[in-house]
């Protein structure tokens, strides 16, 4: 992986992080105001490609006009498709309609789809691109913190079914990622905070100094002061790039570390109906606290490390307990049933990402179900 800061002619600096994959390398460009220059950048990276933009109604209302103007300036705008905001758009019916719209817009093999939005749009549009005409290129333009630091990088695409999240999908690496950090200022505080859980995840899974930096600097990351927000996005993108380079298709276990907190978190999200009751990042924050607390109880991790995580997430306003979810709490049995739907079940055995401390996560591929059940009973009872 190569990376470095460059100062473009127009002003503020930007950073490019490269994801080095044999035959499929691409750049992640991080900086303020990238939407205005997207046309020029995409035309340079994908010569002769025309672009169809996929977005959701919220992002389209706020940001589609300047992106369209930029693409039109370079003569590469084909049209746009706008889906409803929210996880329910990651479905077969929406995918079908989207693929038909993209074909009607005239997307050909040499063209590209721009996924312009958060994680839902990135996953859905990336999946559509991967199957349209047996695969067209995708440019990811993430507009949420969560998507800029995680879901837009690494090529995972997919939709949900009633059996669970992301159970249908492909690996389809983007040809370019443009992360415009200026758009993060248009996120609600709650959505920014939920995305922050994925930033903290990189510290917790493999970079203890980064977690310690976040403990000190999180307020400036939230306010955008002194470039600290961009430092957090860059550090996260570099960490993600390194992991994807090491294990692109989640085969060796390295990429699975990114699932820290996710097996618990996905079950909590499913329990809450993928609704505003519990955002993805909020579920992951609870999931990471559960993973560390379970690790402590198995004698794997110092108790003070789990306490640090709890304290930090509480300080930033993230939930850390099952009881923090508004409304009725799930039973341990319900959570276990939902966890069993997770993709991390292999041969009937549940794998969990656990930790030996902050920055030292590992995959436990044969979790003791009896101990896990006892642990979840305590957590669901609200201890
Ligand atoms: N978001 C987890 C991964 O990309 O593997």
Domain extents in the chain = 3-187, 200-380
SS3 of residue 144 by DSSP: coil
**What string of H, E and C letters represents the secondary structure of 283-333?**
HHHHHHHHHHHHHHHCCCCCHHHHHHHHHHHHHHCCCCCHHHCCCCCCCHH
pLDDT number for residue 226? 80
Q: What share of the chain is helix, strand, coil (3-state, %, to 5)?
A: 50, 20, 30
**Vertex 323 angle, CA 319 and 326, to 5°:** 80
pLDDT number for residue 172? 98
Query: Ligand 1 center to residue 35 CA distance, Å?
Result: 25
Between CA 94 and CA 353 the distance in angstroms is 32
Query: Ligand 1 center to residue 368 CA distance, Å?
Result: 25
Q: Which tokens hold the place of 363?
A: 């995959």
150 lines ligand 1 (CB under 6 A): yes
Q: Which of the listed residues 19, 21, 127, 156 should we mutate to test ligand 1's pocket, taking the one with most ligand atoms within 8 A of CB?
A: 156
- 10, with CB counted inside 10 A (0-12, 13-18, 19+), is exposed
54 strand-pairing partners? 81, 115
Query: Dihedral sign, CA of 369, 375, 377, 379?
Result: negative
pLDDT number for residue 3? 43
Cβ of 292: how many Cβ atoms within 10 Å? Answer: 29
Between CA 349 and CA 168 the distance in angstroms is 21
Reference 86, options 59, 63, 56, 113; nearest CA is 56
Indicate the helix (H) or strand (E) that contains 142.
strand 137-142
pLDDT number for residue 115? 98
255 lines ligand 1 (CB under 6 A): yes
Query: What is the number of helices (H) and of strands (E) in the chain?
Result: 14, 14
* E strands present in 145-235: 159-161, 164-168, 176-180
List, by residue number, the catalytic residues: 134, 156, 198, 240, 250, 255, 259, 262, 266, 280
Low-confidence ranges of the chain (pLDDT < 70): 1-12, 342-346, 383
Scanning the structure block, which residue is given the tokens 């549009």?
A: 125
Please state the atom number of ligand 1 nearest to the C-alpha of residue 150: 1
DSSP assignment, residue 351? P
CATH code of 3-187, in short, is 3.40.50.1970
379 lines ligand 1 (CB under 6 A): no
Sheet holding 77-83, edge to edge: 3-6, 14-19, 26-31, 176-180, 137-142, 112-117, 51-56, 77-83
Reference 67, options 139, 137, 17; nearest CA is 139
Q: How far is CA 340 from CA 2, 140, 381, in A?
A: 39, 31, 20
Query: Ligand 1 center to residue 151 CA distance, Å?
Result: 6
Query: Ligand 1 center to residue 83 CA distance, Å?
Result: 23
What is the gyration radius of the CA atoms in the chain, in angstroms?
20
pLDDT number for residue 19? 98
Query: Does the structural domain 200-380 have CATH classification 1.20.1090.10?
Result: yes
pLDDT number for residue 10? 39
């Amino acid at each position: 992986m190569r990376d470095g800061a460059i100062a473009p002619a127009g002003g503020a600096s930007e950073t490019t992080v490269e994801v080095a994959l044999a035959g499929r390398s691409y750049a992640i460009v991080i900086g303020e105001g990238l939407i205005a220059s997207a046309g020029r950048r995409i035309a340079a990276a994908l010569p002769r490609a025309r672009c169809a933009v996929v977005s959701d109604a919220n992002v389209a209302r706020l940001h589609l006009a300047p992106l369209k103007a930029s693409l039109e300036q370079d003569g590469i705008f084909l049209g746009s498709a706008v889906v409803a905001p929210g996880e329910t758009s990651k479905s077969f019916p929406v995918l079908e309609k989207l693929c038909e719209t993209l074909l009607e817009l005239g997307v050909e093999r040499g063209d590209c789809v721009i996924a312009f939005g958060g994680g839902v749009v990135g996953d859905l549009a990336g999946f559509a691109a991967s199957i349209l005409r047996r695969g067209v290129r995708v440019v990811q333009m993430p507009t949420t913190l969560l998507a800029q630091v995680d879901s837009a990088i690494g090529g995972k695409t997919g939709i949900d079914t009633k059996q669970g999240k992301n159970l249908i999908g492909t690996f389809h690496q983007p040809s370019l990622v443009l992360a415009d950090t200026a758009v993060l200022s248009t996120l609600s505080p709650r959505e920014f905070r939920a995305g922050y859980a994925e930033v903290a995840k990189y510290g917790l899974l493999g970079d203890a100094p980064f977690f310690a930096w976040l403990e000190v600097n999180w307020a400036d990351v939230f306010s955008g002061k002194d470039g600290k927000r961009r430092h957090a996005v860059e550090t996260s993108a570099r960490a993600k790039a390194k992991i994807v380079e090491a294990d692109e298709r989640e085969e060796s276990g390295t990429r699975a570390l990114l699932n820290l907190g996710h097996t618990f978190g996905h079950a909590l999200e499913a329990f809450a109906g993928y609704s505003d009751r519990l955002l993805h990042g909020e579920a992951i924050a609870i999931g990471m606290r559960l993973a560390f607390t379970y690790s402590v109880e198995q004698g794997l991790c110092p108790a003070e490390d789990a306490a640090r995580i709890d304290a930090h997430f509480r300080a930033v306003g993230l939930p850390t307990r099952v009881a923090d979810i508004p409304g009725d709490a799930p039973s341990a049995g319900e959570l276990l049933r939902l966890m069993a739907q997770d993709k991390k079940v292999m041969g009937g055995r549940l794998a969990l990402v656990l930790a030996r401390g902050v920055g030292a996560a590992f995959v436990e591929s044969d979790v003791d179900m009896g101990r896990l059940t006892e642990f979840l009973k305590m957590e669901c009872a609200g201890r």
